[in-house]
């Protein structure tokens, strides 16, 4: 079971081995508009192997659009997006599918199939993408990821029988079952109570250590950002207005950063 005490976040920083040789995601001068609406105007971002980067921003600031651009679900208007040193918009359909197999997603709504048990939800992406596995290998893979999120006992339950926090953890387990190199977390703590948020933040950190993943974490929850982010980037007017450690970003007296901080921790 992965859950640990909250001060584990301090130890986590000491155990990380972030490889800054080259970024596995490299975004330069990215722009994306929807008709006359300018969403992303000049995004520059590096994600290094083994690193968690948190992307913050107001609703409608383009956080989720950024993820969709990185995995080729949308096309940019201009700029460059390289993942594993390959230009995403130059990949053909087969190459794009191969790339996406290296990237796991935790959707805000968890995206579990209501008609499937927990076991079946986890088996689905595994057997779809790895067709030569034996029954024993499938069972072992399911048991491993469920044990690693602390929910092996839910294996035969239906999603309707799970709490919101349990669904989120099952969503993480389903992401992990293909052993992705990169994980995209979309609002991982949205709609959860404070205690469960702490558990999910701890789990994100444990996944980073155990599976050696690199992650982009999209959120407006500053507690999540502070707990999980090795670096934090705040989108302001379509570009990163501030970037660095959590303290670097929010020591700022600029109204945009201050108002974002105050909303989370004061209001």
Q: Indicate left, alpha or beta for 203 from its phi (over 0: left) and psi (-120 to 50: alpha).
A: alpha
> Average model confidence (pLDDT) for the chain?
89
Cα separation, 177 vs 122, in Å, equals: 7
Question: Given this model, what pLDDT does residue 5 score?
Answer: 39
How far apart are alpha carbons 54 and 70 in whole angstroms? 15
> Containing H/E element for 101?
none
Instruction: Say if residue 111's pLDDT is above 90.
Output: no
Q: What are phi and psi of 94, to 5 degrees?
A: -65, -40
Ordered structural domains, the chain, with CATH: 8-102+180-265 (3.40.50.300)
Q: Residue 237: phi, psi to the nearest 5? A: 55, 45
Contact 99, 84 (CB under 8 A): yes
Using one digit for the tens of pLDDT, what is the confidence trace for 21-69?
889 999 999 999 999 999 999 999 999 999 999 999 888 889 989 999 9
């Amino acid at each position: 079971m992965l859950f640990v005490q909250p001060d584990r976040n301090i130890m986590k920083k000491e155990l990380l081995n972030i490889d800054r040789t080259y970024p596995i995601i490299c975004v330069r001068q990215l722009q994306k508009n929807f008709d006359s609406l300018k969403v992303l105007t000049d995004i520059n971002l590096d994600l290094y192997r083994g690193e968690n980067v948190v992307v913050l921003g107001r609703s409608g600031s383009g956080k989720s659009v950024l993820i969709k651009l990185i995995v080729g679900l949308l096309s940019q208007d201009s700029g460059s997006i390289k993942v594993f040193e390959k230009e995403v918009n130059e990949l053909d359909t087969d190459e794009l599918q191969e790339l996406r197999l290296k990237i796991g997603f935790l959707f805000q709504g968890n995206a579990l199939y209501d008609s499937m048990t927990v076991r079946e939800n986890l088996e689905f992406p595994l057997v779809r993408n790895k067709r030569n596995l034996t029954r024993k290998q499938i069972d072992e893979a399911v048991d491993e990821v469920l044990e690693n999120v602390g929910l092996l006992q839910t294996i035969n339950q239906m999603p309707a029988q799970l709490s919101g926090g349990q669904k989120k953890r099952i969503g993480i387990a389903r992401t992990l079952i293909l052993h992705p190199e990169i994980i995209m977390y979309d609002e991982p703590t949205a709609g959860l109570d404070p205690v469960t948020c702490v558990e999910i933040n701890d789990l994100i950190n444990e996944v980073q250590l155990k599976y050696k993943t690199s992650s982009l974490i999209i959120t407006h929850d500053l507690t999540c950002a502070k707990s999980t982010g090795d670096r934090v980037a705040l989108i302001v007017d379509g570009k990163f207005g501030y970037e660095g450690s959590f303290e670097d970003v929010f020591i700022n007296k600029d109204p945009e950063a201050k108002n974002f901080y105050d909303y989370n921790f004061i209001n």
